[in-house]
Copies of this chain bind each other. A is one copy, B any other.
Amino acid sequence: MKLWETSDSLSSDKLVEQFTASEDVLLDEQLWAYDILGSLAHSEMLYQIGILSRPERDQVCVALSALMNEEVHVTPADEDIHTKLENMLVELIGDAGKKIHTARSRNDQVLVALRLYTKVWLLEIADLLLALAKECAQFAKRNEGQPMPGYTHTRAAMLSSVGLWASSLSECLLDDLDLLEAAYALVDQNPLGAAAGYGVPLAIDRELTTQLLGFARTQNNTLAVMNSRGKHEFAVLSALSCILLDLNRFASDLILFSAGEYGFFELPPEYCTGSSIMPHKRNPDVLELLRARSARVLSMLTQQAIILKGLTSGYHRDLQETKRPLFDALSTTHASLQILTPLIAGLRVNKKNLDSAITPELFAVDEVLERVQAGVALRDAYRQVKERLNQLKRRDSVKALKARSHAGGPGNLRLPELDQKIAFLQNLWSKRRQGFDEAQTRLLRLGT
């Protein structure tokens, strides 16, 4: 085996092929189904405006639907998946295949496939996010009254509860879902018909493809369509980043709270690994990787931005490079949400350690506010307690938790409202998914 594979002997053609396409065709394979859906809608539209005859339209649709089930492998020599699809069509049905690219450009063709692809992933991610939010809410419910120190500055601060901690993640995730929804709405616009960014001198019907593909609306200005490449990706990755930032914090919490010095939780053993040198180790590898994966998605957000910086209007090949960060961030977020839910389901709560971590100083605020209620001004009460810190006493945690009875406090988490909100959102997103599936079914039926 050579330490180093030399490429000195490569011809410039091979060099260029490798430089421009080698990685991209692998990503392209994931777009196969979406390119077919886009092409089905485009063909139907070409038929409706008289470019394809009825028999041509039928030939094309039957062939496309059949190719949907093909296992496809693209090589750099194929240029890309779109050329390959067109070539396969021409091989299968001859002249009608040569017409399919009428009135579209590679640019809007890729865009439509990317948006369908992104929509499917976002639908899945919303689903997994809600499942995780629900799991946390249930974990919170089971441990609603379990006292736990509340930390600020990595130091024990006030009385808190396992319920407050776990349901805080649920609520943060629901905020993230609002951002994801805004990004989804951007992506849910039909780019087809923008061609190379300047439209086409043909009376194409863009509203028809919008409806056929199940997009919420047509993205109007054809140059705005082209200029949104990369920025839409940025918006999506930004919403994913928020999710990952929340998972990163939760993973950081769990790594610390399951360490020997805290011992509040015990991770399910299948989510831990050992050491090659230290027989006693049980390491929280999954959570550590999850933390690091947030760095990956965040850096891909940066990557999108840097790619766009300095580009003028219209398509540039630079934009091809926006694909990989998009694909990677979507699958990384997906895998991260997916693995955390069963981990939380299997998390063991160590009641003993939690209870014994409830020290008197966690009740300093209770002491202060008791004096306030007896009429002492806050600042005076604060000073009085500060001067007698060693006289602080451990209080009844259950009673103290209940006293935090205002909205959102550990004594009043409002979990039923949280459950309701999750259920509402699950319904909403599943309807979106259904709409997407129906459009797909309709399109594939064109080929029967």
- Asked if B15 and A339 make an inter-chain contact with CB atoms under 8 angstroms apart, the answer reads yes
A358 sits at the interface (CB 8 A): no
- Asked if B227 and A20 make an inter-chain contact with CB atoms under 8 angstroms apart, the answer reads no
- Asked if A199 and B409 make an inter-chain contact with CB atoms under 8 angstroms apart, the answer reads yes
- Asked if A309 and B289 make an inter-chain contact with CB atoms under 8 angstroms apart, the answer reads no
State in angstroms the CA–CA spacing of A290 and B154 once bound together.
Answer: 15
- Asked if B389 and A1 make an inter-chain contact with CB atoms under 8 angstroms apart, the answer reads no
Number of this chain's copies in the assembly equals 4
State in angstroms the CA–CA spacing of A20 and B271 once bound together.
Answer: 10
A54 sits at the interface (CB 8 A): no
Given A197-B150, A227-B246, are A385 and B279 also a contact pair (CB < 8 Å)? yes
State in angstroms the CA–CA spacing of A103 and B277 once bound together.
Answer: 8
How many A residues touch B, CB cutoff 8 Å? Answer: 196
State in angstroms the CA–CA spacing of A270 and B18 once bound together.
Answer: 13
Tell me whether chain A's interface is mostly helix, strand or loop, or mixed.
helix
Name the one of B82, B186, B231, B392 contacting A246, with C-beta atoms under 8 angstroms.
Answer: B231
- Asked if A277 and B314 make an inter-chain contact with CB atoms under 8 angstroms apart, the answer reads no
- In the assembled complex, the CB of A148 is this many whole angstroms from the nearest CB of chain B, namely 10
Given A165-B313, A235-B242, are A201 and B403 also a contact pair (CB < 8 Å)? yes
A349 sits at the interface (CB 8 A): no
- Asked if B406 and A202 make an inter-chain contact with CB atoms under 8 angstroms apart, the answer reads yes
Name the one of B155, B183, B268, B408 contacting A281, with C-beta atoms under 8 angstroms.
Answer: B155
Residues of chain B within 8 A (CB-CB) of A383 are: 279
- Asked if B249 and A283 make an inter-chain contact with CB atoms under 8 angstroms apart, the answer reads no
- In the assembled complex, the CB of A433 is this many whole angstroms from the nearest CB of chain B, namely 10
The contact string, 1 if C-beta is below 8 Å from chain B, for chain A 299-330, is 11111011111111111111111000100000
